[in-house]
Amino acid sequence: MTSIAAISSPARRRKLVGAGRRQWIGLLYVAPAVALVVVFFIIPLCMTAWMSLHNWPLMGAHSFIGLDNYWAILRDTRFWNALKFTGYYTVVVTIAIFVVAFPLALFIERPRPLTGFYRTSFFMPAVIGFASASLLWSWLLNVDSGLFSPAAFELGLTEKKVNLLATFQPAFWSIIAMVVWKVAGFTMIILMTGLQSIPPDLQEAAMIDGAGPLARFRAITLPLMRRTLALALILSVAGSVLAFDQFYIILRGGPRNQTLTAVYWIFNQSFVSFKLGYGAALSMVLLVILVALSLIQLRLLRQPEGVD
Amino acid sequence: MAQARSRKRRIGMQIAEHATGIVASLLFLAPIVWTVLSAFKPAQESRQPPLPPWPTTGFSVENYATLNTFGDGLWLPAQNSIYVSVMTVVLSVIVSVLAGYGFSRFRFPLKNLLFVLILSTIMIPFQSILTPIFLVLTKIGLHNTLTGLVCVYVTLQLPFSIFMMRNAFDAVPREIEEAARMDGANNVTMLLRVMLPLVWPGIVTIALFAFLGAWNEFLAALVLMTDQSKFTLPIMMTALQSGRFGAIDWGAVQAGVTVMMVPCLVLFLLLQRFYIRGLMAGAVK
């Protein structure tokens, strides 16, 4: 650019002005995208903050009430319970996903016959939606017409057909099983990209030095994959904190409202009780938690990764 | 001797590995296969536990016929889902190709700010801004319309697809453009004739993600589409599964789940490498 600017013959300058105008056209190209993001994201985001300071029923006038909604949240034990449950679910499901996805990634990363078939099979549940997967499993988990309890009964494992969705523990672990089934393939692919970015000669050198598979995994694979691990972690944590579909479709928040997640509680407050202002305040709390989590995890991502 | 033994051990290892692989594959495929097969049982048999999964008293499409009798039938929500998904694909491709080209090839004021603004929306969960989206749609007269839902879905796709398209355009060497400009191509012909053929793999990737995103989305459709005639498949099926149309017919649920799953699976199997490419691009950057 500087070399062009240095030559200042009139012809050049005219061309530069033309080029300058051509550059402005770029704004036109990005305008539709910016308009959509502003109308359907930025404005609603600002409105959430604004609404959270109001008593805002679905019908009728809304009134400014300052921070009252936020004070109400402090006393809203059911929201805190929902948040606690969401945190518990996030930790458990993220560990479960990694425990399944990491071995799968190691398994498909090595080329051998049928690898393509294995990879595709593991990944298939990831492309169907959470709603489809939840509907599917709500059938499999049904006590009368489903698969699991009748099969366990037929095999003589249980004395009668057990309703898996009637009590907290079996219901919770059923959801964990379903989510791991659906998401593990996705996490596996992310982890695989990390594994493939490790130079193979590094592993070979370690092998020649006599490092066993476990030592190699700890000294080479894990440290070199930190960025990929952090990314897989971000995606899994963010997805789990926002979990809704499976708890709504399979459990309806039950048994006894024990599986209400944060998003589910916000949904109930906003679109069942129509307390839009209060729902907005709850949303702000969730939003702050999520952005904080992402920022912490992004810091993890930023750290340099030894070899690049 | 020792060599033969180690070879035997290697073969043993390989058999064990493939056995593990096949068992694991079956575990992941089983629920899908189980549903697709069970959906073809006669209604009577569908009420029983699916043991075995395949129809034993004759092959039937009764479940699909039953599914069609609930609410507005199967075809209307399917049509809604198809419309929403196809429109989301078309619009998000157009908008992101334009924006990707703009961000890649032009220098204009606020460029970096706008790019970061669009990308950073990925950090904010859309679940937390659904109420105001509802109010905005009401304000502009798109309340309870499929078009309104499309606008929301396109916006949700933009951070990923604009990022993808900008990278795709960045990868095109500038010499190609300069040569075309010498031949007198203006901006529009440049984009359509010269650039598009070079970035089409990126377009397929973002189209695939847009389709799957829109086809599978649940919460926004549940909140924004209050009229039963506007239900997409996931909403209609959840209504059916919750017993809104009377006793729950699990055969109809299996049929509905099959209808919801099959397009995703077929598209994925056909376009697998584009999907993986998209994931990789997201993971590496």
Q: Do A45 and B107 touch (CB under 8 A)?
A: no
DSSP code, position B229? G
DSSP code, position B168? H
Residue B256 lies in a domain: no
Residue B33 lies in a domain: no
pLDDT at B164 exceeding the cut of 50: yes
Closest CA to A235 of A224, A244, A227: A227
Q: Read off the pLDDT band of B203 (50, 70, 90).
A: very high
Token pair, residue B20, equals: 């593990």
Report the CATH number that the domain containing residue B216 is assigned in CATH. 1.10.3720.10
The arithmetic mean of pLDDT across residues A150-178, rounded, is 91
Q: Chain A: nearest CA to B152, how far in angstroms?
A: 6
Lowest mean pLDDT among A17-21, A233-237, B3-7, B201-205: A17-21
DSSP code, position A55? E
- Do A8 and A244 touch, CB atoms closer than 8 A? no
**Counts of helices then strands in chain B (DSSP H, E):** 14, 0
Q: Which of B29, B31, B238 sits opposite A249 (nearest CB)?
A: B238
Measured CA distances, B36 to A241, B29, B91 (Å) = 31, 11, 32
Could you report the per-residue pLDDT of A83-136, keeping only the tens digit for each?
999 999 999 999 999 999 999 999 998 888 888 999 999 999 999 999 999 999
Q: Do B152 and A194 touch (CB under 8 A)?
A: no
Closest CA to B98 of B188, B171, B198: B188
Residue B44 lies in a domain: no
pLDDT at B247: 80
How big, in percent rounded to 5, are the helix, strand and coil portions of chain B?
Answer: 80, 0, 20
| CATH tag for A77-302 (out of 3.90.1260.10, 1.10.10.10, 3.40.640.10, 1.10.3720.10) | 1.10.3720.10
Residue B129 lies in a domain: yes
Residue B167 lies in a domain: yes
Q: How many CB atoms lie within 10 A of CB B242?
A: 13
- The tally of domains found in chain B comes to 1
Paired strand residues for A230? none
Q: Chain A: nearest CA to B244, how far in angstroms?
A: 13
pLDDT at A298: 77
The arithmetic mean of pLDDT across residues B87-95, rounded, is 97
- Do B62 and B128 touch, CB atoms closer than 8 A? no
Rounding to the nearest 10 degrees, give the CA dihedral for residues A8, A11, A12, A17.
Answer: 110
- Do A162 and A170 touch, CB atoms closer than 8 A? yes
CA–CA gap between residue A268 and residue A278 (Å, rounded): 11
Paired strand residues for A54? A64
Q: Do B241 and A138 touch (CB under 8 A)?
A: yes
Between positions 101 and 140 of A, the ones with CB within 8 A of B are: 104, 107, 112, 114, 117-118, 120-125, 127-132, 135-140
Could you report the per-residue pLDDT of A231-276, keeping only the tens digit for each?
898 889 999 999 999 999 999 988 988 999 999 999 999 999 999 9
**Within an 8 Å CB–CB cutoff, is residue A51 touching chain B?**
yes
Residue B222 lies in a domain: yes
- With beta carbons under 8 A apart, name residues in chain B contacting A117: 25
Q: Do B25 and A121 touch (CB under 8 A)?
A: yes
Q: Chain B: nearest CA to A133, how far in angstroms?
A: 8
Token pair, residue A253, equals: 């928040």
- Residue B217 carries which side chain, given as an amino acid letter? E
Residue B125 lies in a domain: yes
Q: Chain B: nearest CA to A38, how far in angstroms?
A: 9
Q: Do A271 and B223 touch (CB under 8 A)?
A: yes
Which residue in the block uniquely carries the two structure tokens 């702050």?
A: A288
| Domain membership of residue B155 as a residue range | 69-248
- With beta carbons under 8 A apart, name residues in chain A contacting B111: 26, 30
